[in-house]
Copies of this chain bind each other. A is one copy, B any other.
């Protein structure tokens, strides 16, 4: 029986055959693909260190050369200076491949900068040399996010070598500051969206991984985050505790009490009203979570810390579905030496709240403000207190019935032979929301593979490339373009 097929312009596409051909071509090209990744890993494009900024630029140029060699029209978009420094922000790379009106257009987001890495961090090999250990490739960026980024270029190469026309148009939006707060991204995307980007039908972000180390998944949700600083000020400078202890009002006392009032030792947030907008977990939802292919080992990367919850489903709910409040630091905020026996004059407590659907930022801010003010009042302190919410980014929760997710689901099932889990992440990826808000399109978080840190199996990578290709076929089937 012939598989489902249809005519797209001049191209007759026999999907099953195409997929088979494409898959073989991916396997054939293994050496070239690994070589491409090797060149990428060699460049220590650490965006957090200004000393490495030239490497980030070198990485951008490497990517553009690779894109151009595949016929992708690529350009660097400068993002200006970093803060008030003389350092240029790493540029955005905009790439366009295909512009057929008859095809849907997918915007692919990825980033070409990486986190720092040294042998001292526990790397078993030079993190800037791609190293094959029993079929597993080690090197900084193989997972996050050079592997997935270059995976897209490999997918295009496979299409070309297989002589199959790409069934969609692709727009690449590649960032070089992701590991340094995505500085400049939103503004640049806005500019491009207003003037230069073609019509986009959906977005595909490859900057996530599976939740499990053995079972594929698609990510549909991310938690938001509000970051707070409590500042309590007493004197103008630190005081000698021998001299002043007992008659000077001490800011640290207030900060310890205020911070301690926010959450209990079992992780329950003590701010009144904070759970009001969080939907109760339904039985159906709980059962769905229980049925995911995630093991305790998948979610504890050897931290050795105690889990507050007894079972996997409760743990995943705590990570994905419920807000959390973490106390990060309590710091001496004056410039004085901060000797250990002083009474600090000014103390800052830093904490953050991870938010989930359907919490509204305004309501959370109001609840936290009320709670802290009430607590401070009860302390009857003579110090002054300030509470500031210095960063807020909202949660992300995407519609998985959209063809974009359905295409990814079919593609993953086709390549891996199993139904992907639909999962969330506990962290925040602000650019997912930026892309959603600015482009107003469905945003798919399509992982390339396992969550291992810095390592990827060669087979996994090849399958990841096949998923990308298959996803494009499915998009071309499911997306009702042109409108």
Contact = CB atoms under 8 A, between A and B. Distances in A.
A382 B305 CA distance: 9
A307 interface: yes
Nearest to A351: B252
Contacts of A381: 265
A257 B260 contact: yes
Among A252, A381, A427, find the residue whose CB has the most chain B CB atoms closer than 10 A: A252
A236 B301 CA distance: 11
Contacts of A349: 256
A236 B243 CA distance: 38
Contact of A328 (B247, B326, B342): B342
Interface string A408-440: 000000000000000001111000000000000
A437 to B, nearest CB: 20
A34 interface: no
Contacts of A124: none
Among A225, A324, A326, find the residue whose CB has the most chain B CB atoms closer than 10 A: A326
Interface stretch (A20-28, A77-85, A315-323): A315-323
A302 B236 contact: yes
A306 B260 contact: no
A307 B314 CA distance: 49
A306 B328 CA distance: 28
B383 A245 contact: no
Contacts of A324: 241, 245-247
Given A327-B253, A343-B326, A427-B240, A318 B247 contact: yes
Contact of A308 (B248, B257, B323): B248
Among A235, A330, A382, find the residue whose CB has the most chain B CB atoms closer than 10 A: A330
A263 to B, nearest CB: 6
Contact of A383 (B253, B306, B325, B343): B306
A150 B460 CA distance: 78
B260 A253 contact: yes
Interface size class for chain A? 35 or more
A307 B248 contact: yes
A246 B322 contact: yes
B256 A307 contact: no
Among A247, A256, A264, find the residue whose CB has the most chain B CB atoms closer than 10 A: A247
Nearest to A229: B340
A322 B247 CA distance: 10
B304 A352 contact: no
Interface in A320-369: 322-330, 332, 338, 340-345, 349-350, 352, 354
B305 A239 contact: yes
A303 B251 CA distance: 13
Interface string A96-122: 000000000000000000000000000
A245 B327 contact: no
A315 B239 CA distance: 15
Nearest to A120: B335
Given A246-B319, A322-B246, A266 B306 contact: no
A247 B319 contact: yes
A4 interface: no
Contact of A248 (B243, B303, B383): B303
B235 A253 contact: no
Contacts of A425: 242-243
A267 B240 contact: no
A350 B314 CA distance: 35
B427 A250 contact: no
B305 A352 contact: no
A64 interface: no
Contacts of A338: 329
A329 B332 contact: yes
A254 interface: yes
Contacts of A75: none
A237 interface: yes
A227 interface: yes
Given A253-B327, A256-B260, A256-B330, A306 B382 contact: yes
Interface of A: 223, 225, 227, 234-237, 239-250, 252-254, 256-257, 259-260, 263-267, 302-309, 314-315, 318-319, 322-330, 332, 338, 340-345, 349-350, 352, 354, 379-383, 425-428
10 contacts: A241-B328, A241-B354, A242-B428, A245-B324, A245-B426, A249-B265, A253-B263, A256-B259, A265-B381, A329-B340
Given A244-B426, A250-B326, 11 more contacts: A235-B305, A236-B305, A241-B352, A244-B303, A245-B326, A248-B308, A250-B327, A252-B327, A303-B345, A305-B345, A306-B382
